[in-house]
Structure 1
Amino acid sequence: MSTTTRASTPASTPTTTPATTPAPGARARARARAQAQLEAEHTRRLTLGHGPTGRAVAYATVAVLAAVWALPMVWAVLSSLKSEADVSAAPLSFWPEEGWTTEAYRNVVAAGDLPLWIWNSVLVSTLVTVITVAISALAAYGFSRQRFRGRRGLFALTVAAIMVPPQILIVPLFDQMIAMRLSDTLLGVALPQVVMPLMVIVMKNFFDQIPVELEEAARLDGAGDLRVFWSVILPLSRSILTAVAIFVFISAWNNFLWPFIVTNSPELMTIPVGLGTVKNAYGVQYAQELASAVIGALPLLIVFMLFQRHIIRGFATSGMGGQ
């Protein structure tokens, strides 16, 4: 009787569900998080010191430097809220005699098509940032991980391209945009700005510090080159990608010379070019000039304040932070 009972019971029936196979790069990301925490603690100790005295000196130094850096910006904002008579009065005073006013901002907005210029700047800067980050990341990964003939020569040309002044490329780039029928278009404003050799070098330095063992673990799971780049390298490089994206965005937003040359239509102007056309028949209006500068810098200030931690972390671990 007992023998029949044991035979009728399946002996190989599993009692637990089989474990799922981890996605390629999952173990790599877990190890990277632990390594990032150690690097953050190491960076904090290098910056602030180990003891309370060193940290107090570091905080005091940072406070003084921040005050020196912020003083011109605060003065520009306060001056833009004054009347033209108070801004040009001698001697200068902190408190305006005629009181605070937003007249300069109203005049700047009324003198030009400010919302359209801001939209053009956002569109061009976003397009430049996306294309530049994609090209720089792929090129940096090729220089860092791939071994091919002519690799050193191409990287040497990339380094040498940093020393080429962008002003000498304006004429050939303008001729190229005319040949491609992209002059006086937003695409013609964006495309010549997407190649930045410095960003390739910065990202290559970061990729060189990623352990090769993390990629080998993903390759054992069956991942190819593109899958390793997408699932392992890019998730581990969020800090440097964010830092590069912000610097590229700021550079494209502040670019004045190339958009000024390649565009003729007022509806295609970016905000630096558009604000440069806002003039007054009575000469230089300091309050309006400062109001224009504040309007143009406000989006960049917001972006920097939101992502400043990523910028510091990215460049601190890319070989550009002095470590």
Structure 2
Amino acid sequence: MERMYRVSMNTIVGLVAVVFLLPVAYMIALSFKTEGVPFIDGGALHVSLVNYHKVLSEAPIFHWMWNSLLVAVIQTFIIVLVDSLAAFAISRIKFPGSKWLFLLFLMGLMIPAEATLIPIFLMMRDWGLLNTLYSLILPGIASPFGIFVLKQFFDGLPNELEEAARMDGAGYWRIWSSIFIPLSRPAFAALAIYSFLAAWNDFLWPLISISNRTYMTITLGLPNFQSSYMQQYSLPMTANTLAAIPLIIVFIFFQKQIIKGIAFTGGKE
């Protein structure tokens, strides 16, 4: 019975994987197809790299990828740093109003991102940062979600570790850097993965704050490029294939951390 169950589950998982992989395979196949030429004609397979040459010559795909990578990496690093310090202070430093401050952060999760677009836009405009990468990085350098996740994890760490460090003369900074950071790697990985993907996939805010093609991210540059080829399929699919390469590479090298991060956010360990 157990063997039949495993075979059935593996079959179901395999079918689901095929369903999800079919659109990706179709996208990659179209990227090698010349527009107006049948992919298979007379039993012969017509494969061409002309689409890749045309896309790379007409659109700065790699430059847009670099902008997205730069914004995502810097924003993720700052979010993990700032949120971990804030979560540590709320979790381990007892001061008047700490519970109300944490409640205030939780209230930030209830505010839709769309409601903050106009105030942030006006702030970036007054600072003269529109149409720069700073306008993409600065609005996302802190996350209420990250503070909540890390605070919950810090609360679960034994108090004895902190007390032992205090007996050795360690201060808050030493306790945070030498004890809490090494023990909180699963939480940091989960937050870093979430923050990186959110920054990489962000579209609405770059659409509002960036009009200069030089500072466009990949999520904004692709629709800008594809709008010129609305009646074609191969060139947009080629651009999407190129844009998917970095995420595929990240998943291949960090799949274990991604799976652990997803499992961690699903429930407290």
Is the structural similarity TM-score above 0.5?
Answer: yes
Q: Decide which of 42, 46, 50 is 1:99's aligned counterpart.
A: 46
Is 1:154 aligned to residue 105 of structure 2? Answer: no
User: C-alpha deviations, 1:10-60, integer Å up to 9, x for none?
Assistant: xxxxxxxxxxxxxxxxxxxxxxxxxxxxxxxxxxxxxxxxx7666555544
CA distance in 1, matches of 2:229, 2:64: 24
Equivalent in the alignment of 2:215: 268
Distance change >3 Å, CA 200–CA 55, structure 1 → 2: farther
Q: Shift of the alpha carbon at 1:281?
A: 5.2
**Higher mean C-alpha deviation, range 113-122 or range 97-106:** 97-106
Q: Shift of the alpha carbon at 1:221?
A: 2.1
Equivalent in the alignment of 1:321: 267
Contact 1:80 1:291 in 2 (8 A): yes
CA distance in 2, matches of 1:71, 1:321: 31
Q: Shift of the alpha carbon at 1:322?
A: 7.5
Q: Shift of the alpha carbon at 1:116?
A: 1.9
Equivalent in the alignment of 2:30: 79
Map 1:17-166; keep pairs closer than 5 Å: 56=7, 58-85=9-36, 96-97=40-41, 99-166=46-113
CA distance in 2, matches of 1:261, 1:100: 39
Q: Decide which of 163, 166, 177 is 2:124's aligned counterpart.
A: 177
Task: Classify the secondary structure of the residue corresponding to 1:85.
Answer: coil
CA distance in 1, matches of 2:21, 2:160: 45
**Higher mean C-alpha deviation, range 183-192 or range 71-80:** 71-80
Contact 1:120 1:270 in 2 (8 A): yes
CA distance in 2, matches of 1:177, 1:109: 32
User: C-alpha deviations, 1:186-224, integer Å up to 9, x for none?
Assistant: 111111122321122122222222222222222222211
Contact 2:61 2:243 in 1 (8 A): no
The amino acid of 2:267's aligned partner reads G
User: Aligned-pair RMSD on alpha carbons?
Assistant: 2.4
Contact 1:239 1:311 in 2 (8 A): no
Contact 2:146 2:191 in 1 (8 A): yes
User: C-alpha deviations, 1:148-195, integer Å up to 9, x for none?
Assistant: 222222222222222222112111111101111211111111111223
More helix as a share of residues: 2
Task: Classify the secondary structure of the residue corresponding to 1:84.
Answer: coil
Q: Shift of the alpha carbon at 1:134?
A: 0.8
User: C-alpha deviations, 1:206-263, integer Å up to 9, x for none?
Assistant: 2222222222222222211110110011011122212221221111111122122212
CA distance in 2, matches of 1:59, 1:218: 48
Contact 2:35 2:233 in 1 (8 A): yes
Equivalent in the alignment of 1:223: 170
CA distance in 2, matches of 1:60, 1:182: 53
Q: Structure 2 stretches of 5 or more lacking a match? A: none
Q: Structure 1 stretches of 5 or more lacking a match? A: 1-50, 90-94
Task: Classify the secondary structure of the residue corresponding to 2:182.
Answer: helix
CA distance in 2, matches of 1:291, 1:143: 48
Q: Decide which of 136, 141, 146 is 1:194's aligned counterpart.
A: 141
